[in-house]
Each structure stands twice: as structure tokens, then as C-alpha cells.
Amino acid sequence: MHVEDKSSFLTFAFVTPITLISDFGADNMYVGLLKGSILKRMPEAQIVDLNHSIRKFDPVHAAFVLRAAMDVFPKGTVHVIGINAVATPDHPHRIVKLNGQYFIGADTGVFQLMGTKQPDAVFDLSGVQTDEDFPTFPERSLFVPAATHLAKGGIPEMLGRPASLVTQAENVRPVIEGNALVGHVRHVDGRGNCITDIDRTLFKEAGRGRQFFIDMRRARSDIRRIANTYTDGTPGEPVAMFNAMGLLEIAICMGGSGSGYGGATDLLGLKYDDPVRIEFAAAQAAPTLEL
């Protein structure tokens, strides 16, 4: 008897992801309350915890993580931003469409810091319909209804009027100072690895193939080559590599917070927003011709 294989006929409906980013802390009950509120409105929701360990009230740190997320999440993704979310005249609530994705939060400068181009569109939240009123928890009472509406395929025009961004902000970017390239630590991950804002392209442009060292403030810890992986070096010693985002990352070979060696933030004293200085060998002057 022939048994028809129906597995090839199975289809899976794509559900637009909703990401959550906040400074609540991973073990905070408000994270769970947000998820429950989303699922109550949209049981099929695909919720992704992007990061709940953003520095308190820090739009720069949040923007760094969101900018990285834009490259890996699909078009239509909705990002709920729970950092300094209570609205004020200076920080009104906004929906921002950028790179085909939606970002919902307070206009604290985070939207300006996320990208190098202007948003595709900006809306206020004046049309959000909700039966909840929690002035101290707008992520639940306003952002969740807006996020689920968009994730279900709704249009932002139903949630509010076209608006503009109020808060102007600009990232502090890496700079070239003579023979040095100076950037900053923009994120410290759970293993104590320090991710900087120096990308591979800028490193190559500044260095032009010259020898270099990354100044770790202690000569014995200076890094003089770019590794391929976290384990490409001497165990327990500092290493630097360009990570999957193309950004310079400083770590400890075979290390990490909680390991036998510790992480870069433990052993090198690096922390968020610290400067990272790369010194390149002085360029040789072109020989002069004697006539």
C-alpha cells in the first residue's frame, strides 16, 4: 500500500519577531510582565530578549545593541525599547521606521544614535488604543499594543500621527590622532569581552599596513597582532580580533568572567566607555633625491 508523504505540503507561517531591550536586568519581573502582556494580545508572538542589561538610562549603549540587531533581524521586526521610557516634553514617545524595521520607545536620543541615516518615517503614539493606564510602565500600556499591532501587519498610521524626532544626539566616533586610532568600549558581554566601536575598515585605513600595538596601559599586556579567534593566542593573555559585527573586540585567550583566567574587563580593567588606543608605527618619510 502506498502511503503518501504529506510532510512536503506542510507550511509554516512567518511570525514577525518582537524584540525586547531594556535596563531592567535579566531577572527582573517586569521582563516577564511585558512578555505576558504581549502574549495576551498575540498568543502566536515570537518574542526575542535582545538585552536586558543595558546600562541604566543609557541611550548610547542601547543604540549600539539595536544597531547590531538591525543587521540580523528580518524586515518588519518590531523592537520595544524599555530604557528611560516615561514620556516627558523633551522625550516624547515615538515609533521610528528604519531599515524596514520598527522601533518603539521614548525619544531620548536612542533613535538618532542607531543609524547613520535619517529614519524612513516617524510617528507619535497618539492613536494607540489601550484599556490599561500605567504611567510608570509605558512599555506595557503603550508600547505593547503598538508592537503587537505592527507585528500582526498593521500600519503605523493607525497608531499615531506623522511626527519628528525632538532629541538631537550624535555618537562619539573613533578618531585618528597623529599615528594613533582612538575608539571606545561600547559593550561588555557576559564573558567580560570588550567590544569597541573600531571597525575593520577604519583600522585598515588608519594603519595602512603598519605595525601597531593596542595600548593596554601596562606594557606587558599590550596587544601587537590581530587574532582570528578567542583561542588564537597564549591562554590567559589578552587577544584582539574583529568579531562577527566587524568590530574590534578585546578578550582573554581561553578566558572569560568565571573562568580560570577571567575576562578582559577583570584582568585589564577595561570597562564600558573606556578609551581604546591603537598606536601605529610612524610612517617612513620618502627618501629625498640629491641633485
Structural domain contains residue 6: no
Q: Are residues 191 and 154 in the same domain?
A: no
Chunked into runs of 10 residues, the chain (291 residues) has average pLDDT values of 48 84 92 96 97 94 94 96 95 96 97 87 92 86 97 97 91 90 94 94 95 87 93 92 95 79 86 95 62 46
Q: Are residues 108 and 82 in the same domain?
A: yes
- Are 278 and 203 within 8 A, CB to CB? yes
Q: Please tell me the predicted confidence (pLDDT) of residue 254.
A: 86
Q: What is the CATH number of the domain that holds 111?
A: 3.40.50.10790
Predicted TM-score (pTM) of the model is 0.85
Q: Please tell me the predicted confidence (pLDDT) of residue 168.
A: 84
Q: Are residues 101 and 198 in the same domain?
A: no
Q: Please tell me the predicted confidence (pLDDT) of residue 258.
A: 67
Q: Are residues 244 and 274 in the same domain?
A: yes
Q: Are residues 94 and 220 in the same domain?
A: no
Q: Which of 125, 158, 191 is the last residue of a domain?
A: 158
Structural domain contains residue 289: no
Q: Please tell me the predicted confidence (pLDDT) of residue 12.
A: 56
Structural domain contains residue 84: yes
Structural domain contains residue 291: no
Structural domain contains residue 3: no
Domain range holding 255? 175-280
Q: Are residues 151 and 181 in the same domain?
A: no
